[in-house]
Amino acid sequence: MTVLDCVGLSCPIPVVKTKKALKEHPEGLEVLVDNVAAKENVSRFGKTMGYTVSVSDEAEGVWRVGMSK
């Protein structure tokens, strides 16, 4: 599974990068984010695009948003 590191990036950059990465990896990917807004926005985008979305704590203050078909 491809991992996209968006730690340290503010919205809308994580969503823009996720959109681009999904074009290259339509089977799905995992996105690392470190703020609540990015976690919620990336999750919402994934669901809108028809992916099954899961969110887990990766480390303190970092979430892993998984998207799969």
Q: What are phi and psi of 12, to 5 degrees?
A: -95, 10
26 has pLDDT over 90: yes
Number of helices followed by number of strands (H, E) in the chain: 2, 4
pLDDT tens, residue by residue, 33-43: 999 999 999 99
Distance, CA of 11 to chain centre: 11
Q: Label residue 42 exposed, middle or buried (CB < 10 Å: 0-12, 13-18, 19+).
A: buried
- With a cut of 90, say whether residue 15 has pLDDT above it: yes
Greatest Cα-to-Cα distance within the chain, rounded to the nearest angstrom: 30
Average pLDDT over residues 22-26: 97
Query: Tokens in use for 66?
Result: 């998984």
- Given the residues 9, 11, 49, 55, the one annotated as active site: 11
CATH 3.30.110.40 fits 2-68, yes or no: yes
Q: Is 6 a catalytic residue?
A: no
Residues 46-56: pLDDT tens digits? Answer: 999 999 999 99
pLDDT at position 1: 85
| pTM of the entire predicted model | 0.94
**Predicted pLDDT of residue 59:** 86
